[in-house]
Structure 1
């Protein structure tokens, strides 16, 4: 792989040189600001998935800034040539998928409603508002970061997951676009999602959630189901189970602690819910982690063209 990063007079040169696409992830603590000089010989489509913290990119030419909060994503155009961006990362964990423009549009129709008015000659985002990373997206992201395969199997696995992430992101936006909800109704439902995500140990009621965002229970049930494709309590369960799986994979938590952090008073109740949701006991996953020597790592793969033919 020819991708390189060099520190030159306090400016990092990020030369995007790869075949078809590249998957990278990184973690940044506290507040980190870097001046990046992007160099690429072809137009790039970049999928940003901000898992945690906040992340910003500011163009020195257009002064355009793109911002990501925790659990937000978007697709961006990076044009051919050389241009400067200021990167600001605060307690950030992010996954980025870079794709060559030609390769990207071999997978997505060029006349697709999302991309038909695209301008790949300037740095910019596809969606005017960042889509939220729902539990399905978060689960696939975790599977990418915790990939245990090596060599050609890892390449094949990451390839499949990259396409799955792209599919889920576009599908989620299309579902939201085709709803008949007004902008303020969608915003209220997103606020409910954020409230749930940030307090998974809380035993929320529909009445409390509806009052918190200024709506009523009936609208909350109907609008949330339209936007998310599942009920409020179905969403709460999904979030709790994905968070529990993430904590189990980290190897840092006892099952009793995980149960408490995901809103269960008794570990037995948590274990029953986990088994019903995933089809296996939490201790099974915990044992697998201990035996396999699970660890987190930064991804930096060049995926060869021979594997890209679909």
Structure 2
């Protein structure tokens, strides 16, 4: 059986798939979304198959801490993004458990696998992109040094991670994932779009692992949690963002560690992140015809509608009003 996952306490099978490595190579896009209500959790499970790629997005709301057992016969490379919650993976292929914290990613390879998955938080969300081994190796023939070393280990057939250290999901990765999850295209053009985003995300991951700092500023879990909190605080106060000193005080860090640690984890500055998220949210608001451009500028904390329009045009190449045309 290529893949099966079940809830250990109830022995209930959550997914039982007969998709083999070769079935990934569907010439057309196959996509499914299922909402499931179970005694121990509610979930939304989405899958996309096309051209040797399998994308998976899961959103879980557990009623209690839950343990799952999984078994797979697939020979795959998996790009894993833990978007929310804490995930603990005990695998036959790895001597030590793999613990993914909130907003972390890695790339893994295995040829068949079995073990248990524990979601330690009640809310959990993951996004994965899977390639059959041969497809991945062909795609990454002339990649950077880190990806070349990883591919050499994949060729040997041994289970491997691209790095023992998971990295934070930075803003460009999050934007690419969001673009996939919110894609409005249909059929063939959607398949082209998803393929382009899968390659873009692989490039972003490869560069993140290739360029990670030798000596991290945010070294401890406490430092990383504080910087994650700072990012969430920015999003919650996007209409009236704090100064850097205020944000450092709220997060419980000094300004130096906040500035350097934020750039290290998210590959952008605090205020670069704020500017990008404002513009990203503005496009969502502009799709609502009941909101004026002035109202949107005020909602997102711009000093004036002129400032908002100038920033929008610089980013996207056209004005907010042209976005609505």
TM-score surpassing 0.5?
yes
1:184 aligns with 2:219: yes
Partner Cα separation in structure 1 for residue 2 and residue 289 of structure 2 = 33
Maintained 8 Å contact 1:175/1:227: no
Partner Cα separation in structure 2 for residue 11 and residue 148 of structure 1 = 32
Maintained 8 Å contact 1:14/1:36: no
Q: For residue 131 of structure 1, report the CA deviation from its aligned partner.
A: 1.6
Partner Cα separation in structure 2 for residue 85 and residue 176 of structure 1 = 30
1:108-138: CA deviation from partner (whole Å, max 9, x where unpaired): 359933525668534x643333222222111
Structure 1, unpaired ranges of 5+: 289-310
Among 71, 85, 103, the alignment partner of 2:103 is 71
Between the two proteins, the alignment pairs up a number of residues equal to 279
Partner Cα separation in structure 2 for residue 247 and residue 196 of structure 1 = 21
CA distance change for structure 1 residues 105 and 213 in 2, over 3 Å: closer, same or farther? farther
1:136 aligns with 2:172: yes
Q: How does 1:1-310 map to 2 (within 5 A)?
A: 9-12=11-14, 13-17=16-20, 18-19=24-25, 20-31=52-63, 33=66, 35-40=68-73, 42-51=74-83, 53-59=84-90, 61=92, 64-80=96-112, 83-86=114-117, 88=119, 90-109=122-141, 112-113=145-146, 115=150, 121-122=158-159, 125-177=161-213, 181=216, 184=219, 191-192=226-227, 194-200=229-235, 201=238, 202-210=240-248, 212=251, 214-217=253-256, 230-245=268-283, 262-264=300-302, 270=308, 273-282=311-320
Query: Counterpart of 1:291?
Result: none
Partner Cα separation in structure 1 for residue 78 and residue 233 of structure 2 = 27
Structure 2, unpaired ranges of 5+: 26-51
Q: For residue 282 of structure 1, report the CA deviation from its aligned partner.
A: 4.8
Partner Cα separation in structure 2 for residue 70 and residue 190 of structure 1 = 9
Query: In terms of mean alpha carbon deviation, does 144-153 or 85-94 score higher?
Result: 85-94
Partner Cα separation in structure 1 for residue 284 and residue 209 of structure 2 = 25
1:238-297: CA deviation from partner (whole Å, max 9, x where unpaired): 233234445667x69957886566444777755554344333455665x58xxxxxxxxx
CA distance change for structure 1 residues 231 and 199 in 2, over 3 Å: closer, same or farther? closer
Q: For residue 164 of structure 1, report the CA deviation from its aligned partner.
A: 0.3
Q: For residue 15 of structure 1, report the CA deviation from its aligned partner.
A: 4.7
CA distance change for structure 1 residues 263 and 90 in 2, over 3 Å: closer, same or farther? farther
Q: For residue 165 of structure 1, report the CA deviation from its aligned partner.
A: 0.5
Partner Cα separation in structure 2 for residue 254 and residue 66 of structure 1 = 45
Q: For residue 144 of structure 1, report the CA deviation from its aligned partner.
A: 0.9
